[in-house]
Amino acid sequence: MALTREDHERWMTVARGRMIDFVSPLITPISLSRTEGRGEALGTGNYIGINGSAYLLTNEHVIAEGVGGHLGHLPGPTDDYVAMAHHIVTAEQPIDMALMRLRDEWIKATKGVVTISMFDQAYNPVEDEFLFFIGYPGTRATRLQTPIRELHARHTAFGGPIENLAVPIITQAFRSDLGQLLSFDPAYHTAVHLPTRSPRVDGGPAEDLPNAMGMSGSLVWDTKFVACTNRGIPWGPQLAKVCGLIRTAYPRPEVAGLTRVEHLRPVLLDWVRHERAFIHWLDRGEPLWQEGVDWEWAEREFPELRD
């Protein structure tokens, strides 16, 4: 049975609660430190699993903003930030994605991973579908509060408590006229509604939402809630699929822009092939002038992304 308009707000609250529990163990704040022992909330990262290895995924612009400082993430089990000291591969606009392979820091980690099987093949939510993302605002400023001053910044202590808690957003695709948005390419990007105010609980008063600065790098999930309801299928958050990656937010219209998942998948596959080709080259004794051998091997061994 299809949802009525009156049902939406109530069921969005239900879906948001279930998605929070499902996605929270898979994400991390990203902190930037320019002063010893002290950092600032910079962005959001996601732990993902590809071909049996764990990676940290975020936006390219988050990494670029950290140049000259030290970036850290929280794989657990403690609240101690771990330096993002490994090689990071990036794709600039219009993709805006970065990936870092996790190493020894993942051995004792308590976080889980978003597996590739959780990524949709393409962005294709049904009409009025509930979309979900969760991230770490880097400021106490409200959604439209500008300029964002230093006094609003959320600070993080390396080895200290987490000051910035994640903020969950459940929303829907934006279907009105977008106008001309800076660095928004309709061939790659889609917009979701990101209002100034929203109720925190079903039937509650509308409250100011935090400024989206710091939520860059959040994965967007097509919850499949409306799709399941329309087909009479019982819904659970395990049915949700990643449909995009948040890249920026706009004040007018009140939207956030995402890169659609069908543009993320080919880049991830290319990166993983290059990584595995390099490892294969090392294993062969680092022979010179034979790079094609290793790339051809990687293409055969990794024809597609897998968990």
Helix (H/G/I), strand (E/B), else coil: 258: strand
Confidence at 12, pLDDT banded by 50, 70, 90: confident
Confidence at 40, pLDDT banded by 50, 70, 90: confident
Could you count the other beta carbons within 10 Å of the beta carbon of residue 156?
27
- Mean pLDDT (whole number) for 148-172: 64
CB 33 within 8 A of CB 80: no
**pLDDT by residue (tens digit) across 79-138?**
888 999 899 999 999 999 999 999 999 999 999 999 999 999 999 999 999 999 999 887
Closest CA to 72 of 188, 160, 131: 160
Residue type, 128: D
What does the pLDDT read at residue 13? 84
CB 86 within 8 A of CB 101: yes
Could you count the other beta carbons within 10 Å of the beta carbon of residue 95?
19
- As a whole number of angstroms, the distance between CA 256 and CA 249 comes to 4
- Specify which of 141-145, 176-180, 203-207, 270-274 reaches the highest per-range mean pLDDT: 270-274
Which residue carries 């939510």 as its tokens? 125
